[in-house]
Amino acid sequence: MSANVALIRGIYDAFSRGDIADVLGRMSPDIVWNEAENFPYADGNPYIGPQAIASGIFARCGSEWDGFAVVVEEIIDAGDTIIVTGRYKGRYKATGTEQNTQMAHIWRIAGGKAVRFQQHADTLHVARVTGSAP
């Protein structure tokens, strides 16, 4: 396993343990994080720096979802770019609806840290789960 894959794998492993400090510690101080267009948390795009991500993304996941999880299906090593595919799981508290949302994450690595993140997700499915779809 390459060092870049190990870095990103470590982010998902730490997130699943609830070790947000470890997750954030693997990010560059000036990481640029973008949620998918039309995703509920894209309202803060771009999130700059680990603290913005912690408060704008992770805190909302924790407060709005029961059992929010990222299930990794595949990690693709493209050198300084790592692509992760998988699913979001969890129950949206306000509607009681479970999600099984397809996602892809594109990570950019430099200097042993994550420096950029781009989420792609099935935003229509999330809108239906959260009750915001017509």
Statement: residue 22 has pLDDT above 90: yes
Rounded distance between C-alpha atoms, residue 72 and residue 103, angstroms: 9
Burial of 91 (0-12, 13-18, 19+ CB in 10 A): middle
Between 3.30.470.20, 3.20.20.100, 3.40.50.300, 3.10.450.50, what CATH number should domain 3-130 receive?
A: 3.10.450.50
Per-residue pLDDT at 76: 98
pLDDT one-digit tens code per residue, 68-119? 999 999 999 999 999 999 999 999 999 999 999 999 999 999 999 999 999 9
- pTM to 2 decimal places: 0.95
